[in-house]
Amino acid sequence: MTPAVTGPRNSPAPGDGPVVSYESGQREVFCGLTGIIWLHRKIQDAFFLVVGSRTCAHLIQSAAGVMIFAEPRFATAIIEERDLAGLADVNDELDRVVTRLLERRPDIRLLFLVGSCPSEVIKLDLARAATRLSRRVSPEVRILSYSGSGIETTFTQGEDACLASLVPELPDAAADVPPALLVVGALADVVEDQFGRLFRQLGISPVSFLPARRAADLPAIGPKTRFILAQPFLTDTAKALERRGAVRIPAPFPIGVEGTTQWLAAAAAAWNVDAALFDSVTAISRERARRALARYQGELRDKRVFFFPDSQLEVPLARFLSRELAMRLVEVGTPYLNRHLMALELDLLPPGTAVIEGQHVDNQLDRCRAAKPDLVVCGLGLANPLEAEGMTTKWSIELIFTPIQGYEQAADLAELFARPLQRRLKLSA
């Protein structure tokens, strides 16, 4: 099924699939630096050095919370005014900062130089800086670069750019090895362990994850690698893997019981896993997850939900809310829509669902106010003003920080949507 694609915003019309339209204008999203907050926890011996301004430093510091007692694994090399004015050689300064950092922190095995709006504006070539610095410190330390700039990007693209920068570093798989599965996208360790267990029980092996928890554990890759995306926002990473010969397994994303089952089933089909074995391995988890989800079906059924574009998780989340919790989708905004990676998800949305790619925040606010949804999923910047207007909101960034993928997390995910409604009920009681 192919979704209808329209030009500027159209009203959703009943049809075979969702109605996808595009709009542009002012956007309200975090920048790609935000990804550092979950990536630095995932890759345990990596360090993220943002090359940016004081604003970038404040964003990372406040978004990551205060790590007073821990040695943080991110920092900002601040581009000062004299750098911007061309009075100092920024590359020399950067070399000095990196040298000092590596002397002070011998535990760092992988250093990311993360570009920002200011480093892009002054056209600082961080890729070249990473190559130059790598020559001095490899093989002990690997230095890579990617951009987290907020110019025309949204916050989950930071992870995409980071993982795409890792792909050229992956070793070549030997020609005589058996096919291997690569799960792509940062997952909470607990979710990764659950999926690893299920794949083992299904007889799918070897399985590795990108990013790996340790810098030295980069998975080998080649034409026999089959990869499956665990996150929907990894367009560049998927392309980079395909350039290395790896083949993507198309699947919906592992959100909710249905998404998780179809995701696992897609991998199982690629390994010719027997249907009876698949059923026996997944049956107990599926049933337990369905029972746990049922607790939230009463309170979420028929509630109307409106998504502002933010995390790029909007389409799979909307599919989960409508199909497993019977919520009604007023509008599903998403900053970017990769129709190729998202095709199976779009097919699962109710006919006529309005999917809006891009953002014109004023128009969207008007539509949201007119629709008076029961729940608005949006970024932090919009949540407080909308709450003040009496709407009930859910911060979309929380859905990135919280483990939500897999069977065991399906009910927790439903609870994340039920909680703001419960809170609003208590406040109005």
Instruction: Kindly write out the interface string for residues 103-122 of this chain, putting x where it contacts ligand SF4 by CB under 6 A and - elsewhere.
Output: -------------xx-----
Query: Rule CB under 6 A: is residue 33 a binding residue for ligand SF4?
Result: yes
Q: How far is the CB of 356 from ligand SF4 (least distance, A)?
A: 23
Nearest CA-CA partner of 165 in 139, 127, 134, 128: 127
- Provide the minimum distance between the beta carbon of 149 and ligand SF4 in the complex, in angstroms, as a whole number: 5
Residue 52 in the binding site for ligand SF4 (CB under 6 A): yes
Query: CA-to-CA distance for 290 and 372, rounded, in angstroms?
Result: 30
The site for ligand SF4, by CB under 6 A, has a size of 12
Q: How far is the CB of 155 from ligand SF4 (least distance, A)?
A: 9
Contact region with ligand SF4 (CB under 6 A), list: 144-152, 181-189, 193-201, 346-354: 144-152
Scanning 52-60, 77-85, 199-207, 225-233 for contacts with ligand SF4 by CB under 6 A, the matching segment is 52-60
Does 235 bind ligand SF4 (CB under 6 A)? Our answer is no
The correct pick among 59, 166, 375, 391 for binding ligand SF4 (CB under 6 A) is 59
Out of 55, 61, 262, 297, which residue is the one contacting ligand SF4 (CB under 6 A)? Answer: 55
CB nearer to ligand SF4: pick between 62 and 272? 62
For residue 205, which of 226, 236, 179, 185 has the smallest C-alpha distance? 179
| CA trace torsion 55, 60, 66, 69 (10° rounding) | -110
Query: Which of 21, 145, 149, 353 contacts ligand SF4 by CB under 6 A?
Result: 149
User: Could you check whether the bond before residue 206 is cis, i.e. omega within 30 degrees of 0?
Assistant: yes
Q: At its nearest, how many Å lie between ligand SF4 and the CB of residue 68?
A: 22
Smallest separation (angstroms) from ligand SF4 to the CB of 126: 13
Judged by CB under 6 A, does residue 400 bind ligand SF4? no
**335 is a contact residue toward ligand SF4 (CB under 6 A):** no
C-alpha–C-alpha distance, residues 204 and 201, integer Å: 8
Q: Does 77 bind ligand SF4 (CB under 6 A)?
A: no
Considering only residues 159 through 218, tell me which ones interact with ligand SF4, judged by CB under 6 A: none
